[in-house]
Amino acid sequence: MAGKITVMPFHTVAVSVGVLVVMALHLQGLEAQQQPLVKGLSWKYYESSCPKLESIIRKQMEKVIKKDVGLAAALLRVHFHDCFVQGCDGSVLLDGSASGPVDSEKTAPPNLSLRGFDVIEDLRRRVHKQCGARSVSCSDITAIVARDAIVLTGGPDYSVPLGRRDGLSFATRNATLANLPSPFVGTDSLLTSLAAKNFDATDVVALSGAHTIGVAHCPSFTRRLYPTQDATMDKTLANTLKGVCPTQNTNATTFLDLRSPNVFDNKYFVDLMNKQGILTSDQDLYTDKRTREIVKSFAVNQTLFFEKFVNVMVKMGQMQVLTGTKGEIRNTCNKRNSNELVISNIVEDHNTDGVENL
């Protein structure tokens, strides 16, 4: 992006990430554990039954992100899209069935660009090999993976409450469309729709900060370019984006954060203050008076952003979770278990041994 992007040399990025890691250690668990836990979830759910769970995932995720840093944003997005549609139950991981609906939640339009399902399934195999079949749910693995994607790109570390069980069905196309925020909506619609899910304005802005990593596809923002340029977009950025997306349906992508696209930091909010947000739903957070000051506060105070982001991630990760004897623990993340009535004894053991007093 000519004249607008500060390209940081590798050694500078490494130093920045190191600083963020130090900050992350300071914040670990501090804000997150202030969030009340949903009954059935625990900070130490697998402490006895699968004590190496998080280290297994972290070790493999380090390799995954080193090989393809773009997967960090992709895997974080999977967790978002799972939780926002019928709760954090791993339903977005399910494939359509020949004996049931062919169209799954996974194939609804907002989810067609999701990727990283193979990473989650590979991690499920590794965890189950170590701890036993039906030992850890795919929805719990997805939540841990999202946290690790944040940490491994320089973001804050935090404790993830665990104990989710996997859903037995996926959402309909209409339910998926109704529950996933559109990139085309303004702040008014965003605040209204997320208020229904118990998120306030600070939560909404903090969650949007996940766009500090990842990419946007041309069709998600070209209506801001054609037929006329959106007045809230920086002109130099608009001209650059027209080169990337010469038509509204060009099959191309651009980074959501111009300044540090592969580092989880607060530069996304700096972009918004400079009219360099890519999506309507992003840039309008600075245009709207109700959220402008929150954007400013995050742009100048990364520690504050990290605190609020951790808080809302833990909050989001507990949306409509299935616990106890509800749902199941899948043997394979993309399909239900063949015996739908079997409830793992391991899970029942978790409920007596692993769950803290609530």
Token output for 162? 């665990």
Backbone φ and ψ of 162, nearest 5°: -125, 165
Consult the annotation and say whether 332 binds a ligand: no
Exposure b/e, 263-295, CB count within 10 A at least 16 = b: bbbbbbbbbbeebbbbbbbbbbbbbbeebbebb
109 known ligand binder: no
Please tell me whether 95 is known to bind a ligand: no
Instruction: Identify the pLDDT of residue 355.
Output: 34
**303 marked ligand binding residue:** no
* DSSP letter assigned to residue 321: -
The residue with tokens 């992508």 is 253
pLDDT at 104: 80
Q: Is residue 175 part of a domain?
A: yes
* Maximum Cα interatomic distance, the chain, rounded to a whole number of Å: 61
The larger pLDDT score, comparing residue 10 to residue 162, is at 162
Q: State the amino acid at position 25 in one-letter form.
A: L
Q: Mean pLDDT over residues 91-102, rounded? A: 74
Predicted TM-score (pTM) of this structure: 0.84
**Residue 190: inside a domain:** yes
Residue 253: Cβ-neighbour burial (10 angstroms; 0-12, 13-18, 19+):
middle
Query: Could you list the active site residues?
Result: 81
| Position 341 pLDDT exceeds 80 | no
Is 105 annotated as a binding-site member? Answer: yes
181 known member of a binding site: yes
- Kindly tell me if the per-residue pLDDT of 10 is higher than 80: no
How many domains, the chain? Answer: 1
Does residue 19 surpass a pLDDT of 60? Answer: no
- What CATH number did the domain enclosing 282 receive? 1.10.520.10
pLDDT above 70 as % of the chain: 83
| pLDDT exceeds cutoff 60 at 316 | yes
272 inside domain: yes
Is 212 within any annotated ligand binding site? Answer: yes
What is the per-residue pLDDT across 144-153, written as a single tens digit (0 to 9) for each?
Answer: 999 999 999 9
Does residue 74 lie in a domain region? yes
Is residue 79 one of the residues assigned to a domain? yes
- Is 164 part of a structural domain of the chain? yes
Q: Give the tokens for residue 94.
A: 């399910």
Establish whether 154 is an annotated binding residue: no
Judge whether 151 is annotated as a binding position: no
Phi–psi pair at 215, nearest 5 degrees: -130, 160
The pLDDT of residue 103 is 76
Q: Is residue 93 part of a domain?
A: yes
Domain of residue 130, residue span = 52-214+256-317
Instruction: Kindly state whether residue 249 falls inside one of the protein's structural domains.
Output: no
Which tens digit of pLDDT belongs to each residue from 228-267? Answer: 999 999 999 999 999 999 998 899 999 999 999 999 999 9
pLDDT over 60 (residue 20): no
Distances (CA, A) of 114 to 17, 74, 93: 26, 6, 10
Band of residue 4 on the pLDDT scale cut at 50, 70, 90: very low
